[in-house]
Structure 1
Amino acid sequence: MTGTNHETGLRVVPVADVPAWDEAVWAQGRGTIFSASGWGTYKARRGAAIARLSVVDEAGDLLGLAQVQTRRRGPARQLYVQGGPLLTDKGERQGEAVTRALLAHLALRPLDLAVVDFARAESPGAVLGLLATGFRPVTTAARHTLEVDLTRGLDAIQAEMEPRWRKALRKAERNAGLTARFLDDPAERLAAFDAFATMYDALKTRKGFSNDFDAAAYRDLAAGDPRHVILEIREGDEPCLVRIAHLSRDRFTDFFTASTERAKANAAAYLAVWSFLRRGAEAGCRVFDFGGIDPANNRGVYDFKRGLTRAVAASGPLWLYGRHRLVTAAAGAMLAR
């Protein structure tokens, strides 16, 4: 536990109790998997040092939460917060003080850089806190997504989808050999994730792209977390597509998908997304989030998503903070490319 910050009167308290951390995260309306412990565990497996920090006032009331990933790059550190900082209802009125307390606790060095990615979890108080403390927003064309308003009802959504999308969906629904199942059994979820990982590796080879997602490091975390929704589509007895989403209080967000070549012919992707919309509506979610678009560099996926909805939304900027303006400016220029 740290002492009281003299500037704000608040205390930053490291949280070692993982279940207590997750309980606090999911008690917040904007809590997501990115602020929950599992994501921190995954990042720790990928080499980051993880600190789970709570901010409390003089009465001991919780005001904010931040899961900080720290990586060293030579003499510098990057301190990265995803899915936060989360503010409680009381903390929402003290966003600037919460941010200042966190910065004081993190004690940035001259070459260090703090990066905040709300991942759609921003609140007015949290954004004002960043602005007031000198964080700089940086965005790119790729930080956009497409959304479906689930409150309008599935009939209205289907009526407004492009004819090609409706035709492909009907084709998949008429195929008696094509089955879609949401998996709850732990063993089935692990098996489906393994099938996804195999398909995903083949997809990267087939399409010639790479990223830093480590399926082996994430396997048990995704399979063991009910807020990861795992859908398996089979044609006959063979899996042809696995799609994974993550669930928060009012958002159902597409996360990862992989398929075999058969999925192109049987329209499994259309059935999968439509199944996600149904599941999200049943869960009381307000929005289905397609998880991002990149029309300039991934036109095929963009065209698929655009056939269902054209409701584009900004995913929000990355927020950068350094003690020296040159550090922030250099990082901002690199990230904005």
Structure 2
Amino acid sequence: MSAALTIRPCPDPAVWDEAIWSLPRGNVFASWMWGAYKGRIGWDVTRLVVRDASEAPVALIQYQVKRRGFVRFVLLQGCPLLTEKGEKHADAVVALFLEHLALGRLDLVAVSFEHFQSDAILLALLGHGFVPAQSAKYFTLELDLTGGTEPLLQAMDQRWRKALRKAERNPDLTTRFLTDLDERLAAFDAFWEMYGALQAQKGFRDSLNGPLFRDLVARDPHHRILEVREKGERVLIRIAHVSGRRFTDFYTASNDRARACAAPTLAVWRFVEQAHAEGRRTFDFGGIDPANNRGVFEFKHGLSKTPALSGPRWIYGRTPRLRDAAAAFLSYR
């Protein structure tokens, strides 16, 4: 089957993004923008289009590579994505991709779908010896938006409803989704300053490189940036990314005034309203960590009681013991 398929790089950002966002499972992590960001922070990024004998695309694959001496670590996020024609070629797509990689005995591949997998591609990974690595950090909370926002208002915890009412009745508190590039850049600068202060205060670390992400996220039409002000002063910035059906809370930062005026509650609810207005079916809280960050979990849990998995991560290597050890490490770290 793989002999009927060809695999070639795609060097054109416009062509790549048009193809990605035309698919039902098109997502930020498979987009050119995300690949550009990962390239800035040290990954070698390649984008491939798999085509059938008629030259019709059947799959899109963006993969990232880091090298340590003679060893390669290959990472795929939000893909492989199959086209409608590609569903029947899933097994051949995976075979051709592994052939393209020409892995060494110590090389490893990890696939992180971030909710955007299809049944066909999962079965293909299993058929080629990929193993799942599951971890508590791959859980999130979701809201079903298909019934509108009123049922969500009725179902939220009383403390959540009370905080939301307090914020909505506060004439000094305003929210605005930013579309102007200069405003989005300024808001991200404010976010990064507040985020740094939060990291210093709470002692947590994060892999986000704000200065290298700044212009990419500000220019990207699939990211939403919400600004909350109290008496004209910024108190909170919240960032989300969107796909066809999903609206995902991504990053947030605030100052000391935000909690006092219930700005986080108002910001999340504005996200929920915006997601429903855009026709998204699911609001994703972007992750939970009940064991190590109980306060944030309790805040999110006040609005949603529905856990969901973004994982597992799928691991492959030519050496089974190394593959299994890597999967075990990712499951428990």
TM range (shorter): over 0.9
Choose which of 41, 47, 72 in structure 2 pairs with 1:77. 72
Counting only pairs closer than 5 Å after superposition, residues 162-311 of structure 1 correspond to structure 2 as 162-311=157-306
In the alignment, the residues of structure 1 paired with residue 43 and residue 137 of structure 2 have an alpha-carbon distance, to the nearest angstrom, of: 25
Structure 1 residue 9 displacement after superposition: 2.2
Choose which of 154, 159, 179 in structure 1 pairs with 2:154. 159
Letter in 2 for 1:186: L
Letter in 2 for 1:322: G
In the alignment, the residues of structure 2 paired with residue 312 and residue 170 of structure 1 have an alpha-carbon distance, to the nearest angstrom, of: 26
Contact 2:187 2:227 in 1 (8 A): yes
Letter in 2 for 1:216: P
In the alignment, the residues of structure 2 paired with residue 100 and residue 201 of structure 1 have an alpha-carbon distance, to the nearest angstrom, of: 44
Whether 2:57 is the aligned partner of 1:55: answer: no
Partner of 2:85 in structure 1?
90
Runs of 4+ in 1 over 4 A off after TM superposition: none
Partner of 2:16 in structure 1?
21
In the alignment, the residues of structure 1 paired with residue 68 and residue 295 of structure 2 have an alpha-carbon distance, to the nearest angstrom, of: 36
Contact 1:83 1:120 in 2 (8 A): yes
Partner of 2:5 in structure 1?
10
Letter in 1 for 2:170: N
Whether 2:309 is the aligned partner of 1:314: answer: yes
Identify unmatched segments of 5+ residues in structure 1: 1-5
In the alignment, the residues of structure 2 paired with residue 145 and residue 8 of structure 1 have an alpha-carbon distance, to the nearest angstrom, of: 40
**SS state at 1:53 partner:** strand
Percentage of identical aligned residues: 51
In the alignment, the residues of structure 2 paired with residue 151 and residue 143 of structure 1 have an alpha-carbon distance, to the nearest angstrom, of: 24
Structure 1 residue 8 displacement after superposition: 4.0
Partner of 2:114 in structure 1?
119
Structure 1 residue 7 displacement after superposition: 4.3
In the alignment, the residues of structure 1 paired with residue 114 and residue 309 of structure 2 have an alpha-carbon distance, to the nearest angstrom, of: 10
Contact 2:238 2:251 in 1 (8 A): yes
Letter in 2 for 1:276: F
Identify unmatched segments of 5+ residues in structure 2: none
Tell me the TM-score normalised to structure 1 length: 0.97
In the alignment, the residues of structure 2 paired with residue 63 and residue 181 of structure 1 have an alpha-carbon distance, to the nearest angstrom, of: 40
In the alignment, the residues of structure 2 paired with residue 233 and residue 298 of structure 1 have an alpha-carbon distance, to the nearest angstrom, of: 24
In the alignment, the residues of structure 1 paired with residue 92 and residue 107 of structure 2 have an alpha-carbon distance, to the nearest angstrom, of: 21
Letter in 2 for 1:245: A
Contact 1:112 1:323 in 2 (8 A): yes
Partner of 2:134 in structure 1?
139
Counting only pairs closer than 5 Å after superposition, residues 97-112 of structure 1 correspond to structure 2 as 97-112=92-107
Please list the CA deviations of residues 214-255 of structure 1 after superposition, one character each: whole Å capped at 9, or x if unmatched.
011100000001110000000012100000000111100000
Letter in 1 for 2:129: G
In the alignment, the residues of structure 2 paired with residue 63 and residue 247 of structure 1 have an alpha-carbon distance, to the nearest angstrom, of: 23
Q: CA RMSD in A?
A: 0.9
In the alignment, the residues of structure 1 paired with residue 247 and residue 102 of structure 2 have an alpha-carbon distance, to the nearest angstrom, of: 36
Contact 1:70 1:79 in 2 (8 A): yes
In the alignment, the residues of structure 1 paired with residue 23 and residue 112 of structure 2 have an alpha-carbon distance, to the nearest angstrom, of: 17
In the alignment, the residues of structure 1 paired with residue 258 and residue 54 of structure 2 have an alpha-carbon distance, to the nearest angstrom, of: 57
Structure 1 residue 139 displacement after superposition: 0.6
Contact 2:164 2:262 in 1 (8 A): yes
Please list the CA deviations of residues 35-54 of structure 1 after superposition, one character each: whole Å capped at 9, or x if unmatched.
00000000000010000011
Tell me the TM-score normalised to structure 2 length: 0.98
Contact 1:8 1:100 in 2 (8 A): no
In the alignment, the residues of structure 2 paired with residue 57 and residue 102 of structure 1 have an alpha-carbon distance, to the nearest angstrom, of: 14
Structure 1 residue 59 displacement after superposition: 1.0
Contact 1:81 1:117 in 2 (8 A): yes
**SS state at 2:30 partner:** coil
**SS state at 1:151 partner:** coil
Aligned residues: 332
Structure 1 residue 142 displacement after superposition: 1.2
In the alignment, the residues of structure 1 paired with residue 68 and residue 199 of structure 2 have an alpha-carbon distance, to the nearest angstrom, of: 28
Contact 2:20 2:31 in 1 (8 A): yes
In the alignment, the residues of structure 2 paired with residue 217 and residue 18 of structure 1 have an alpha-carbon distance, to the nearest angstrom, of: 18
In the alignment, the residues of structure 1 paired with residue 40 and residue 22 of structure 2 have an alpha-carbon distance, to the nearest angstrom, of: 26
In the alignment, the residues of structure 2 paired with residue 213 and residue 9 of structure 1 have an alpha-carbon distance, to the nearest angstrom, of: 41
Contact 2:115 2:309 in 1 (8 A): no
**SS state at 2:137 partner:** coil
In the alignment, the residues of structure 2 paired with residue 254 and residue 75 of structure 1 have an alpha-carbon distance, to the nearest angstrom, of: 38
